[in-house]
Amino acid sequence: MSSQVMPTYARLPVVFERGEGPWLWSTDGTRYFDAISGIAVCNLGHAHPAVAAAICDQAGKLVHTSNLYGIALQEQLAAELCRLGGMDNAFFCNSGAEANEAALKLARRHGHGRGIAHPKVVVMENSFHGRTLFTLSATGNTKVQESFEPLVDSFIRVPYGNAEAVAAIDDASVVAVLVEPIQGEGGVRVPPAEFLPALRQLCDQRGWLLMLDEVQTGMARTGAWFGFQHAGIQPDVMTLAKALGNGVPIGACLARGAAADVLTAGRHGSTFGGNPLACRAALSVIETLQRQNLIARAAFLGQRLLNGFRSALADHPQVLDIRGRGLLIGIELDRPCAELTQRALAAGYLINVTAERTIRLLPPLILTDEEVQHLIEGVARLVNDFTAA
């Protein structure tokens, strides 16, 4: 059947019509276990009653006015996020790419304020920050950059997890470091425990901004509100999106200290960013995470999954590593395994493969113990069948 939708995705042959918790039902009535939560978006699962009620109530009151006027729910959401993350203010937009775009613009303007004509940002190999031209240029993946050159020439790239490589940079034009606390698209790469503290120290010594891309790791995914909290540090800039609205598009760029004074009236904006509907959904997400103690639950379930997979796949010669933090899990095989997404679909599971050979699992935080076991058994069976073929 022909489609008028641009073919920017190699979509799997299924269409969903409803969901509940970690489950999705296709148009033919088949049930699937969503182990990627819409790519780390639906942390509360699908059709969460509290979020659904908040959206319906707000839609009946006010959806949009514009940022030419005050938005009370936006003020409330900014205050909550700053309280949870130790930040000073927030800019709202509609996606992770836009949030990272705001952070990069902030860094560039910060550099100009210091008299640097061509400000540069240190970024990491195998990173992913978005598909706008600026964020695509920051991304460390030549495959997604191909055919969009020339890219923005503002970045110095170093190996992820290597603080010594950052320390070795000798360039007076550097103004910031942009890094993911855990690389999701890069293959669920967890850096050494000393990496983020070392970056914080370097940024303090050299007057750089430490900017953390928490688009995938934020909002309790890793068993803390934000991934940086595991390292006991504080960023100057932090970006959020994905799970912030549990499916309602919303992104945020939060800043602290001197970075909080950079973006002033007329210097950045967003027509839809932080509208009443999106902010009401995000406030409902935060309230639900707190009320149901899902931050601690994510840490507990994540350890159960890691232990379960390590036991089920113990001594498996084709499994190189099983790693992660909270409910961000990677199972790395010794071979490309993209076809596993199709095999999983046929078996009733939605999974994802990143960096060619790492199965990425991002299940919702509301899983029951039985659903955790269902996921362990199902994915282990897929891996065993695939590697035996």
Q: Give the pLDDT band (50/70/90) at residue 2.
A: confident
Q: Is 228 a catalytic residue?
A: no
Beta bridge partners of 189: 183
pLDDT digits (tens, 9 = 90+) for 25-49: 999 999 999 999 999 999 999 999 9
Residues with Cβ within 8 Å of 228's Cβ and at least 6 positions away in sequence, in order, are 181, 196, 212, 214, 234, 235, 238
Strands lying side by side in the sheet with 16-20? 16-20, 23-26, 31-34, 349-350
Supply the pLDDT for residue 259. 98
Give the mean pLDDT of 172-199: 98
> Dihedral of CA 147/7/336/34: which sign?
positive
Domains, the chain, ranges and CATH?
Answer: 18-47+294-388 (3.90.1150.10), 51-291 (3.40.640.10)
Which structure tokens are listed for 74?
């936006």
- Is residue 271 predicted with pLDDT exceeding 80? yes
Say if residue 211 is exposed, middle or buried (CB neighbours under 10 Å; 0-12, 13-18, 19+): buried
Which structure tokens are listed for 204?
């303090």
β-pairing, 89-93 vs 251-255, is antiparallel
- Is residue 316 predicted with pLDDT exceeding 80? yes
Of 134, 213, 228, 309, the catalytic one is 213
Q: Give the pLDDT band (50/70/90) at residue 94.
A: very high
Of 33, 91, 128, 134, the catalytic one is 128
Residues with Cβ within 8 Å of 171's Cβ and at least 6 positions away in sequence, in order, are 120, 156
In the chain, DSSP finds a helix count (H) and a strand count (E) of 12, 15
Supply the pLDDT for residue 1. 57
Q: Give the pLDDT band (50/70/90) at residue 267.
A: very high
Give residue for tokens 């699937």: 32
Query: Residue 83 corresponds to which amino acid?
Result: R
Give the mean pLDDT of 167-181: 98
- Is residue 389 predicted with pLDDT exceeding 90? no
Supply the pLDDT for residue 167. 98
Q: Is 236 a catalytic residue?
A: no
Rounded Cα–Cα distance for residues 186 and 193 (Å): 18
This prediction's pTM: 0.97
Of 33, 34, 228, 242, the catalytic one is 242
Supply the pLDDT for residue 116. 98
The answer to whether 219 touches 244, Cβ cutoff 8 Å, is yes
- Is residue 77 predicted with pLDDT exceeding 60? yes
Q: Is 128 a catalytic residue?
A: yes
**Cα 39 versus chain centre, distance:** 8
Which structure tokens are listed for 320?
């190189």
Peptide bond between residue 150 and the one before it cis (omega within 30 degrees of 0): yes
**Cα 384 versus chain centre, distance:** 29
Which structure tokens are listed for 301?
């379930």
